[in-house]
Structure 1
């Protein structure tokens, strides 16, 4: 039975904390600008000593700044700073400036000592992922049973295969998806699959190209725009298969954030990247597990918003689990190079990944 690692609270009775100075606060000199010497956040839990109390930043995000307001620490993007906001100053992490970064904060199972010389410790095509699937299946069951919030980030390859679309729809229908983050392409090609049976003009069953198939995704976008919304398109065109249709019938929110290369785009796509980012972060703030599939850019974007922990409504602090699934070893492991140090890569194609997860869940 899956059980999240237990959070180890810092012992603030220790001398380093008792004798630590107060964190220095300085007002932002103008909108969207932090004072010199500002403190930038990481993925780890961070505490700040203010008025004799060590305050945890309850909702964190790397590369943002801590702001003290109404007795709490809020973490804000530079673009959301207002002149006069009280920003924490200091770049040490050991309590010497009233700032403490709590890295080793979760209790791990005891393991036997491992010799320093070992084989096969990387995450590559040769890695055996059976145990990872077992752990992930148990995690998903735990999240569903305990009110977790599972956020999926998906690239267009997730919609190119009929079985991949069917399997992810099963995950949605059975309560294993609380939010979907993607771009214009994932939704477009998934809707194209339900509307015309293709993705980028190739049959989603046989992968054979259709005559003039390069029009199909454009025709799909055009038809959605004719109806005015994705939901209206699904209803009027009687789309009954695929990822986005499953989201709509289950009231699962999806955030589609566009890029400069987008066709169309679909009506719901956020063309303003910061508006899209804010809507993505609204779901990341609630996430307890994040799974990125076949989308390096969207998954790294999501990772940049995701700390390694989540404070629940009852004050409990638990780990936030993050997976990256891709056929490329580079892509599957790149997330940790961008600061998401606790993410776990699985090197496989998304069709096989979704089949293994669905079968493991018994759906």
Structure 2
């Protein structure tokens, strides 16, 4: 081996599997390693430390290894400042820019570690100077980059801090306690999720619900509306279809043309959703429809009457769409991003596309529960990087009323 570099791992690196992953990365990518120092925390609240020298046959092999180690939380022992390069144009980043993870991150500027604000995955880091002279760093999506922005490039001077699982941690949100299984004890897990929601609210935190139309089709709409009304839900992120079928239920007693009580299809029921869109548009929007009495119950009704924020992001498949639906994709991303950054706990209910979209905007420190009858939805969310999520493969029509019962009783 002709080249090497020393990295450090610190924290609950054994319990969280960080050290094992570091060893695996080095070997799988054609390198070798030597442990130069290893101190094991002897108590549950003590961190461990590992100093690792990584060897590779050449720089071309070493750099990718160091990058992967860095993404897992390793830092170079010889700390240097981050490399900053000006963006050559609007929406254009320098070659080799650092693409963020969703983990808390610091950058080293002028010898000082600066926390990166607004952390989310797949963004650039821009460093600027505040009016008081202090240095600030925050993420920027690529379409928000402006010419001249000082963008972090390479991996030097960057410190990533993945969530850890200390010994003795408990609860459904313990790191690496997630995963996907239909065999989980649903009642006990729902009870623990309810406790986490209640705890989040008691601490002044915000709960965001990401909901798909299946919430209404399955009959869970009234339970979700009750949670909104009682203050357990602070914001709703959904698509055009969810809002349409929710208000269709209020106006016609159907969801996508099916009577939600009898499961029958009334005459012309298949037109109810398009009638709903027309009437809400004629009123001037969802809030106006509520104020006029056209919509008298449901999730959207409770959002309006209780001043809960909602974002409806449109798609190419939408009928109408509703006047409140954001049809500009970039504008919709920005609105979703704002909701995601304000949330402390997110409930994702039977919506693959919206769940992945919101998950991409969340830092790994935000608690996430993803519920869907299709295991592929939960798996895709976890595979996209939301490793902190708790996945339940179950009927959302059962989950939401059961959660509401735990919280409200």
Bin for the TM-score computed over the shorter chain: 0.7 to 0.9
How large is the RMSD of aligned CA atoms in angstroms?
Answer: 2.2
The farther-off stretch of 216-225 and 328-337 is: 328-337
Between the aligned partners of 1:25 and 1:10, the Cα distance in structure 2 is 32
CA contact 1:7–1:106 (8 Å) conserved in 2: no
Matches within 5 A, 1:65-214: 65-70=124-129, 71-90=135-154, 92=155, 97-105=156-164, 107=166, 109=168, 123-162=180-219, 164-214=220-270
The farther-off stretch of 63-72 and 97-106 is: 97-106
Between the aligned partners of 1:167 and 1:105, the Cα distance in structure 2 is 34
Q: Work out the number of aligned pairs and report it.
A: 329
Q: Of the two, which has the highest radius of gyration?
A: 2
Between the aligned partners of 1:248 and 1:325, the Cα distance in structure 2 is 25
CA contact 2:179–2:390 (8 Å) conserved in 1: no
Between the aligned partners of 2:279 and 2:361, the Cα distance in structure 1 is 34
SS at match of 1:285: helix
Q: Which has the higher strand share?
A: 2
Match of 2:297 among 225, 241, 244: 241
Please report how far the alpha carbon of residue 107 of structure 1 lies from its aligned counterpart in structure 2 after TM superposition: 3.8
Q: Which residue of 2 aligns with 1:36?
A: 95
Q: 1:78 to 1:170 in 2, by over 3 A?
A: same
SS at match of 1:352: helix
Give ranges in structure 1 of 5+ residues lacking alignment.
1-5, 112-120, 310-319
Q: 1:44 to 1:122 in 2, by over 3 A?
A: closer
Between the aligned partners of 1:155 and 1:304, the Cα distance in structure 2 is 17
Say which structure, 1 or 2, has more relative contact order (CA 8 Å, 6+ apart).
1
Q: 1:40 to 1:275 in 2, by over 3 A?
A: same
Between the aligned partners of 1:291 and 1:250, the Cα distance in structure 2 is 19
What CA deviation, in whole Å up to 9, does each residue of 1:136-184 have, x standing for no partner?
111111111111111110000111244x121111101111111100000
Between the aligned partners of 1:302 and 1:241, the Cα distance in structure 2 is 26
Between the aligned partners of 1:340 and 1:36, the Cα distance in structure 2 is 27
SS at match of 2:342: coil
TM-score normalised over the length of structure 1: 0.86
TM-score normalised over the length of structure 2: 0.77
Please report how far the alpha carbon of residue 108 of structure 1 lies from its aligned counterpart in structure 2 after TM superposition: 5.0
Give ranges in structure 2 of 5+ residues lacking alignment.
1-43, 50-74, 130-134, 171-177
Please report how far the alpha carbon of residue 105 of structure 1 lies from its aligned counterpart in structure 2 after TM superposition: 4.3
CA contact 1:155–1:295 (8 Å) conserved in 2: yes
Between the aligned partners of 1:10 and 1:61, the Cα distance in structure 2 is 27
Please report how far the alpha carbon of residue 280 of structure 1 lies from its aligned counterpart in structure 2 after TM superposition: 1.0
